[in-house]
Amino acid sequence: MPSYKFNYFDLRGKGETCRLCFIAAGVPFEDHRIDRAAWPGEYKAETPFGQLPYLEIDGKKFAQSGAIASYISREYGLYGTSSLEALSIDGVVGLAADYFTNWAKSYFEADASKKTELQSKLKNTDLPSFLANLEKILTANGSGYFVGNQLTLADLSVYDVLENSYRDHPSVYKSYPNVLENRKAIAALPRIAEYLSKRKATEI
């Protein structure tokens, strides 16, 4: 097995889905957490594209969180059992990425009044729309997972991207029982549960 070193800040952000993939697959990796103060001078110039996260495989560096998560998933059984399942997984992952973009806009907006507007839109429009699509997918699939009958990158991506809204807007989830059941099932998987029990709590 290759040697893996995952490099990212000490937060969830865009790196946590990659970590969850390693954990779920039971694949050893070095979880290198970079201090923000040291990032510009000590680390930035050493990254492939001047940004985090990046993954080192036997010392060779690879960038982009989506590409890294897809690689881990393909290598270690989290990408379905056929090209059609992989296509469905990519669709869910893309849907999650779209929601993350809306969430990030609302979270990082500097203007106070605009931030309030975006956060209201997120809670009342973007989040319910996303959850409704997820509920529809889970209902149609019928296995408790988004694709096929086993854990895939789709489940891990959704679990991660919903972390903040599940914490901040739990009442919104009441209308989406299958999404809630999927989330509980992922959190209860032994490797994931152990990781979550020890994971440092971060704002994002």
Q: Which residues constitute the domain of residue 28?
A: 4-77
Give the CATH number for residue 92: 1.20.1050.10
Measuring CA to CA, which residue among 55, 57, 79, 73 is closest to residue 65? 55
The per-residue pLDDT for 187 is 98
- Residue 107 has a pLDDT of 95
| Per-residue confidence (pLDDT) for residue 188, from 0 to 100 | 98
Residues 34, 120 within the same domain: no
Q: What is the pLDDT of residue 53?
A: 98
Do 102 and 179 share a domain, yes or no? yes
Give me the torsion for CA of 188, 192, 198, 202, rounded to 10°.
-100
When divided into structural domains, the chain yields a total of 2
204 belongs to a structural domain: no
Question: Do 63 and 54 form a contact (C-beta atoms < 8 A)?
Answer: yes
Q: What is the distance between the terminal CA atoms of the chain, rounded to a whole angstrom? A: 31
In a domain, 148, yes or no: yes
- In this predicted structure, what is the pLDDT of residue 173? 95
Q: Are residues 107 and 169 in the same domain?
A: yes
- H or E segment to which residue 65 belongs: helix 65-75
Q: Residue 10's pLDDT is what?
A: 97
**Tokens 């408790």 -> residue:** 144
Q: Is residue 197 a part of any domain in this protein?
A: no
Per-residue pLDDT of the chain (204 residues; tens, 9 = 90+): 999 999 999 999 999 999 999 999 999 999 999 999 999 998 999 999 999 999 999 999 999 999 999 999 999 999 999 999 999 999 999 999 999 999 999 999 999 999 999 999 999 999 999 999 999 999 999 999 999 999 999 999 999 999 999 999 999 999 999 999 999 999 999 999 999 999 999 999
The dihedral over CA atoms of 70, 71, 76, 81, expressed in degrees to the nearest 10, equals: 50
List C-alpha distances in Å: 174 to 64, 70, 90: 34, 31, 26
Residue 203, pLDDT score: 94
